[in-house]
């Protein structure tokens, strides 16, 4: 199997995938849940079942608090937390369960000067490009320490508004390109439906899946990765480029189908 290709799950030999896979990783918004919304009970059941079959990673552009509210708060005691790997802010942080709490394994924070430069550039170019919207829901620019995130409509914008704001990604890509010129030592990426993320160069979802593979003593090509933004400008593309078994999904409903098929093929080991 060509691990660097992007697959629709219906085109895959899932028997072969299940026999090769040693871990499974998920994007969050648009993959496991709608933007900023909790996962469904059905997705929670699938994640729980998978934690008893494979190491399960969440690799998301969102901060850890969102991973908690969207995923962890929706899981019950049946989930094997010891088999979960949480990698928020695009993999710039990594958390493991130590038996009593989620322990930070690593974090790669931006300096104060880098954060200030990124925030200033985002605001200036967004205003110049006419995408500094008059009405927003929640914070427009969020300093997450290891990542600066610009959300054109605010962090709490309704899903329908987010999905209709930039369907071709043209606005986000133009902003990311302009900001990149101002902060050449940082990585500037088009993020979710309305967002642009800035972090240390070389620390992205590719870095995250490689770090996870090292921690698990497996090859990246033995890791399944499910995401909805696998186009070259999408925030899931680095995980594709790293060599995972990349499965593109159109939303949580399709993720549910893929997980159901995999669960039926994977033996319970934990």
Alpha-carbon distance 116 to 221, whole Å?
Answer: 37
User: What pLDDT is recorded for position 82?
Assistant: 97
pLDDT band of residue 159 (cuts 50, 70, 90) is confident
pLDDT tens, residue by residue, 179-221? 999 999 999 988 888 999 999 999 999 999 999 999 999 999 9
User: What pLDDT is recorded for position 4?
Assistant: 62
User: What pLDDT is recorded for position 111?
Assistant: 96
pLDDT tens, residue by residue, 224-248? 999 998 988 788 999 999 999 999 9
User: What pLDDT is recorded for position 231?
Assistant: 85
Q: What are phi and psi of 177, to 5 degrees?
A: -65, -40
Domains of the chain: 6-108+203-265 (3.40.50.1000), 112-200 (3.30.1240.20)
- The whole-model pTM stands at 0.89
- Tell me what the mean pLDDT of segment 139-148 comes to: 93
Strands of the sheet containing 245-248, edge to edge, are 6-8, 245-248, 223-227, 23-26, 56-59, 84-87, 93-97, 102-107
Q: Write the CB contacts of 29 (distance below 8 Å, at least 6 apart in sequence).
A: 35, 36, 60, 61, 62, 192
- Mean pLDDT across the chain: 94
pLDDT band of residue 25 (cuts 50, 70, 90) is very high
Q: Cα–Cα distances in Å, from 160 out to 31, 34, 35, 55?
A: 16, 10, 10, 33
- Tell me what the mean pLDDT of segment 25-41 comes to: 94
The DSSP code sequence of 82-116 is GGEEEEHHHHTEEEEE-SSSEEEEEE-PPPHHHHH
pLDDT tens, residue by residue, 60-78? 988 999 999 999 999 999 9
> Mapping DSSP to helix (H, G, I), strand (E, B) and coil, where does residue 19 land?
helix
199 and 89 Cβ atoms separated by less than 8 Å: yes
- Tell me what the mean pLDDT of segment 147-176 comes to: 93
């Amino acid at each position: 199997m060509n691990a660097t290709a992007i697959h629709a799950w219906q085109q895959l030999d899932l028997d072969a995938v299940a026999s090769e896979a040693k871990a499974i990783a998920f994007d969050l918004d648009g993959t496991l849940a709608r933007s900023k919304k909790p996962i469904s009970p059905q997705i929670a059941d699938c994640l729980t079942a998978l934690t008893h079959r494979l190491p399960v990673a969440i690799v998301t552009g969102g901060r850890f608090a969102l991973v908690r509210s969207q995923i962890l708060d929706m899981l019950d005691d049946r989930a094997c937390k010891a088999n979960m790997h949480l990698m928020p802010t695009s993999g710039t942080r990594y958390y493991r369960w130590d038996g009593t709490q989620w322990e930070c394994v690593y974090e790669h924070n931006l300096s104060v000067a880098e954060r200030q430069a990124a925030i200033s550039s985002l605001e200036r170019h967004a205003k110049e490009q006419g995408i500094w919207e008059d009405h927003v829901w929640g914070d427009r620019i969020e300093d997450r320490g290891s990542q600066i995130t610009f959300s054109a409509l605010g962090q709490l914008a309704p899903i329908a508004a987010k999905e209709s704001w930039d369907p071709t990604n043209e606005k986000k890509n133009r902003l990311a390109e302009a900001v990149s010129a101002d902060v050449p030592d940082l990585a500037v990426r088009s993020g979710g439906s309305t967002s642009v993320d800035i972090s240390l160069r070389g620390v992205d979802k590719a870095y995250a899946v490689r770090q996870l593979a090292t921690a698990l003593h497996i090859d990246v090509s033995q890791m399944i990765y499910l995401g909805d933004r696998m186009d070259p400008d999408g925030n899931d593309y680095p995980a594709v480029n790293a060599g995972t078994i990349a499965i593109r999904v159109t939303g949580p409903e399709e993720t549910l189908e893929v997980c159901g098929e995999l669960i039926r093929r994977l033996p319970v080991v934990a």
